[in-house]
Structure formats: structure tokens, C-alpha cells
Amino acid sequence: MRVLLKASMDTEKANEAIRNGTLGKLIQESMEQIKPEAAYFTTDHGKRTAYVVFDMQDSWQMPVISELFFLQLDAEISYTPVMNMEDVQKGLSQLGR
């Protein structure tokens, strides 16, 4: 299932990771593990935030993916199922059948 992972990082933990040079490595390791379709980095409510779209094969992957963000960056994590245009069209074609 295609999901959107939102990871909002604690400012102090992220600042420390920048100071000690580990933030880039943490993000790179996460992206290698997740293999995202797309990844965007911005701020949300004043926190460094990553939005990552990827294919989650099974729900057991959630703790594996989340723990790096939790342990290293004290991040707030959410997962949301999402669709691309092809998925929407496929779903709409099934309505009323």
C-alpha cells in the first residue's frame, strides 16, 4: 500500500544532529531503507519535517521505519494511506458496479 510518512523532528535533537554531523547520514540511511517513491523536506509548525511517499508491504514495517526517527530525532510520526492519479481512477471505475 502506498503511504505518506510524515516525520516532524524535535528541534533540539535535529540541531544536535546537525552540529555533530549525523543528520544527513540519518536521513540517507532512512531513505535507503524506505526506498521512497518521493521524499520532500520542509518545515511544519516550526519543525523540520520530512514527507516520504513509499510502498509499505506490510504493517510490521512501521516500527522498523519509525524507530530511527523516534530514537535519534525524537520525531512525531504519522502514516497516511495515499493514492496517485492512477489509483484514484481505478477506484472511481469500481463505483456503482
CA distance 2 to 40: 16
CA distance 41 to 49: 6
CA distance 47 to 7: 10
Q: Write down the pLDDT at residue 84.
A: 94
pTM: 0.90
Average pLDDT of the segment spanning 78-91:
95
pLDDT per residue as tens digits for the range 37-74: 999 999 999 999 999 999 999 999 999 999 999 999 99
Q: Which residue has the cell 523532528?
A: 9
- Within 8 A by CB and 6+ apart from 29, the residues are 68
